Chain A
Amino acid sequence: MKWSLPENIATYGGKIDAIFWVITVVTGIAFVLVEVGIIWFAVKYRRREGRRAYYTHGNKALEVLWTSVPALALVALGIYSADVWAQIKGRDSAPAGSLMLGVRAKQFEWNVTYPGADGTLGTSDDFVVRNQLHFPVNRPILIQLESEDVLHSFFIPQLRVKQDAVPGMTIPVWFEATKTGGYQIGCAELCGLGHYRMRARVTIHEPDEYERWHAEQVASR
C-alpha cells in the first residue's frame, strides 16, 4: 500500500521527509484539537429548553495565546525549512565535483546531454540520448535544466527532486542517489496534450557500470 511518501533514494531526501513528519505532527495536534473541540462543543452545548447561552464578547488573554503560539510555531517552521531549502535549492548548493549533465525538455520528451570522451559538458563531442537518464550512484549529479518550447517540470519522486524547466532559462538541479535501480522521470507541469505520457527512464548505476555504459555510448557514435 502507498499511504505515504515513496521510497527515498536521495542523500537529502531524509531532510525533506523529516520536514513532512514534523509538519504532520504539528498539524496533527492542531487538527485533533480543533475537530474534537468542535464536536465536543456541538454535543455539550446543544440546545436545551430554558438554558441561555453565556454572554461574552471574548477574552484578551486567550486571543494573545492563540495568536502567539501558532505564530511562533509557524515562524520556527519557516526558519527550519529555509535552512533545508538553501541546502537543496540554493544557487550554489551543488557539491563540488558533481557530474554535469544536461536535460532539455520538449513536448513530450526528455533529451539528456552527456559529456563525450573528454568528460566535460559543453564541448563538441557531447552526445544526446532521448528519454534515457543514466548516472552513477553515490555521486552528486548536477543537471542543467532547459526547455525548448513550453514549461515542463522535471520530477523524480524517489529522488525528491522537482524543478520546472523554463524556456529561455538554464536552471541548475542537483541530487545524489544512494541506491542503484530503475526509476522514471515524470512531467509535473501541464505542457499540452501529451503531458500525461511525458516520461523517461532513469537508470542509476554502480560507478564502474556507469563508466562502461558511457564508454559504449561514446564508442557507438
Chain B
Amino acid sequence: MATIVAEPTGRPVVREPHELSFIRKYIFSSDHKVIGIQFLFLSLFFLLAGGLLAMMIRWQLAWPGQPMPLGSLFPETMAPDGIMLPEFYNSLVTMHGTFMIFFAVMLLLVGVFANYLIPLQIGAPDMAFPRINMASFWVAVPAGLIALASFLVEGGAAGAGWTSYAPLSAMPEASGVSLGQQMWIVSLVLLGLSSILGSTNYITTVINMRAPGMTWMRLPLTVWALFITAILALLSMPVLTGAMIMLLFDQTIGTHFFLPAEGGQPLLWQHLFWFFGHPEVYILILPAMGFTSEILANGSRKPVFGYHAMVGALVSIAVLGFMVWGHHMFQSGMNPLLATSFMVSTMVIAVPSAIKTFNWMGTMWRGNLHFHTPMLFAIGFVMLFVIGGLSGIFMASAPFDIFIHDTYFIVAHIHYVLFGGALFGIFAAIYYWFPKMFGRMMNEKLGKVHFALTFLFFNLVFFPMHTQGLAGMMRRLYQTTGYEHLEGLQWTHVLITISAFGLFLSGMLFAVNFAWSLFRGPKAPANPWNATTLEWQTPSPPMHGNWEEVPVVYHGPHEYSHPDVADKDWLAQNERPDVVSPARP
C-alpha cells in the first residue's frame, strides 16, 4: 500500500500570529489541551486527598479508639491524643465522598477528558468557547480550595454525609457544624457552575465543530459518552445548585424549605438531591464506558461490537436516568406506591448496562488481544463494573432494599461502580492518552504491577463489604462495636483496612510512574497504540490549534483489522479511501 498522499484535504487552521506569554499559555490558557491537563493535576490532587481521608476512616473502623499514626498532628477538635472524635469521623466520611465524587472522579472523567479529547477526536482546532472553558477551570479551583479550607474552620468540615440530608445539614444545632456546611454548599455551587459552563461548551463543540466527514455515527464512543454526559450534567446540575441555595438559605437567612417545624419538608431535599444525584451516577460512569469501549477495541484490534447498540444504550441510559431517582428513597417515607414505579424503571435501566457488557465481550471475542496497561485496566473495568451492576439489582428490589438500605452492601456497590468502574476506566484512559498529552510514554512494567495490585487489593477491600452489609452492618458508623448482630465481625474491618493500605500504596506506584514519566519517560510517537481515531493522527503532544490542516474523515471510529487493508491492522479515520482501498468507493 502506498503512503498517504500529502495534499491539502481540508480547511487551513487559523494560527495565533505570535507566541503566547507564559501566563496565557500555561495558567490562564484557553487551549483545551492545557485546560484538560490543568484539570488533570487538580483532580489527581483530590484523588490523593480523598484517598488519605479514606485511610483515616479505615483506621478508625479497624481499631476504634486507638490513636492514629501521626495522630498527634491533629488539633484537639479533631483527634485529641490522636484518637479520632465521632464528629471528625463524620466530617471525614462526608469529605471523602465529596472529594472523590465531585473533585476527583467527576473532574477526571469530564474536566480532563472532555476537554482534552473532544476537539482532538472530532477534528476541531479547539472548543467552541475557549474562554468559557478557561472559566470552567478557574471556577473549579476556588471550589476545591473552599472545600479543603472547611476542615480548618470552627466546627470542622461538613458532617452530614456527601448527600447532606436535611434537616441535619440545615440545623447547625443538630450537627455541630455551621460554617463548614455553608462552605460545602458554596464549594459545590461553584463546582456546579464549572460543570454547567463546561457542559455548554462540550455540547456546542460536538454539535458544531466536527471535521468534514465526521458524521454522528462516525464519532468515537468516547465522544458519544462525553456528549451524553454533558447533556446529563447540563440538565441535572442546576437542580442541585438550586437545592444547595435553598439549603444555604435555611441555614443563614431563616427560610424553611427543609425544616419541618416551620412547615418545611425534609423529603423535598432528597427528591431534589437525587433528581440530580441519579443522573450524576451516570455522569460518573458513562465517560468511563466510552474510554473502555475504545480501548478494548484498540487492544482487541477489532471494531467495537455493536456500535449502534452502544450509542443506543448511552442515549437510553440518559433518558431513563431521569426517571429512577426514587430508588434512593424506598425507605425514606415517601408514598410506597411511588416505590413500585421507581422499582420498575430501575430494573429497566439495568438493561442498557447489560447490553454494553455483552458488547464489550463481543469486542474481545475472536480478537487479537494486546495486553498493554490501558487494555488491562479496561478489562478490569468490565470485570468489576459487572459486579457493581449486578449488586445494584439487589437494591433495586424495594422489599430486599428494606434490609440492605444504608448498610455496607451499598458501600460495596458504590465503590464497585465508582472505583472498580469509573476509576479503572480513568486509569485506563490516563495510561492510554498520557503519551498524547505529554509526548512521553508511561512505564509499562510499572503500569502492569499497578494494575495487578490495584485489582487484588480493590477486591480484598470492597468484596467483603457485601457480606458485612448482609450481616446488617449500618454505614457511617463511627464504630461498629456494641451491636449484638455484628459481634465477631471486627476482624473483617481489620482485613479491609490492611488491604486498603495496600490499595493506597499501589496507587502510589501510579503516582511514581506518572511523575517519573512526565520528565523521564521515553519520547512518544504520534500513534503509539496504532489507533484509528483522529487524535493519534497529529503529533504527540499536538500543536496549538491541533492540526496542520483540518482532517477530513472517511471511516468509522474503530476500524481495526479491516479486510481491505493488508499491511497493517488499523485504518485511521482520516485515511483517504482511494489510497487505502482503490476497490472501494
Contacts and interface: CB of A to CB of B under 8 A. Distances in A.
Interface of A: 1-6, 15-16, 19-20, 23, 26-27, 30-31, 34-35, 37-38, 41-42, 45-48, 51-59, 62-63, 66-67, 70-71, 74-75, 77-79, 81-82, 84-86, 88-91, 107, 149-151, 153, 155, 157-158, 160-169, 171, 183-184, 186-197, 199
B350 A74 contact: yes
B200 interface: no
A196 B303 contact: no
A197 B483 CA distance: 9
Contacts of A165: 333
Given A20-B394, A59-B362, A190-B160, A157 B569 contact: no
A16 B399 contact: yes
B379 to A, nearest CB: 6
B496 to A, nearest CB: 15
Contacts of A47: 368-371
Pick the 8 closest A-B CB pairs, nearest first: A168-B260, A157-B472, A58-B306, A54-B366, A74-B347, A196-B478, A27-B390, A78-B347
Given A23-B397, A78-B347, A149-B174, A42 B489 contact: no
Interface stretch (B141-149, B280-288, B338-346): B338-346
Contacts of A66: 354-355, 358
Contacts of A54: 302, 365-367, 561
Contacts of A30: 354, 386, 390
A89 B300 contact: no
Contacts of A199: 482-483
Contacts of B561: 52-55
A184 B483 CA distance: 7
A166 B331 CA distance: 11
Contacts of B365: 41, 45, 54
Contacts of B17: none
Contacts of B168: 150-151, 190-192
Contacts of B379: 38, 42
B36 interface: no
Interface string B154-172: 0000011100010110010
Interface stretch (B47-55, B117-125, B400-408): B400-408
A188 B399 contact: no
Given A45-B364, A66-B355, A86-B336, A188 B400 contact: no
A163 B309 contact: no
A45 B367 contact: yes
Contacts of B265: 168
B38 interface: no
Nearest to A52: B561
28 contacts: A4-B471, A19-B399, A46-B371, A53-B301, A53-B302, A53-B560, A54-B365, A58-B306, A59-B306, A63-B306, A75-B348, A78-B344, A81-B398, A82-B398, A85-B339, A91-B335, A107-B174, A151-B165, A157-B485, A160-B402, A161-B402, A163-B333, A171-B333, A186-B483, A188-B474, A190-B476, A195-B90, A195-B478
Nearest to A157: B472
**Counting chain A CB atoms within 10 Å of each CB, which of B175, B337, B354, B355 scores highest?**
B354
Interface string B312-345: 0000000000000000000111011101100110
B407 A27 contact: no
B305 interface: yes
B361 interface: yes
B477 A195 contact: yes
Given A23-B397, A55-B302, A71-B351, A167 B407 contact: no
Contacts of A153: 331, 405-406
A89 B383 contact: no
Contacts of A57: 303, 305-307
A16 B402 contact: yes
A85 B354 contact: no
Nearest to A8: B403
B471 A2 contact: yes
B333 A86 contact: no
Contacts of B347: 74-75, 77-78
Chain A residues touching B, majority SS: mixed
A203 B480 CA distance: 22
A95 to B, nearest CB: 16
B167 A149 contact: yes
Nearest to A39: B383
B563 interface: yes
A96 B369 CA distance: 64
A60 to B, nearest CB: 9
A7 to B, nearest CB: 9
B176 A51 contact: no
B348 A71 contact: yes
Contacts of A171: 333
A160 B407 CA distance: 13
Nearest to A74: B347
Contacts of B359: 58, 63
B502 interface: no
A107 B402 CA distance: 22
Contact of B167 (A5, A23, A167, A183): A167
A52 B569 contact: yes
A63 B307 CA distance: 11
B398 A55 contact: no
A188 to B, nearest CB: 4
Given A30-B390, A70-B354, A77-B347, A167 B266 contact: yes
Contact of B386 (A34, A160, A193, A196): A34
Interface in B530-585: 560-563, 569
Contact of B300 (A23, A45, A71): A45
B174 A77 contact: no
A162 B402 contact: yes
Interface string B266-289: 110000000000000000000000
A21 B332 CA distance: 25
Contact of A85 (B336, B366, B368): B336
B472 A74 contact: no
B229 interface: no
B400 A19 contact: yes
Nearest to B476: A190
Nearest to A19: B400
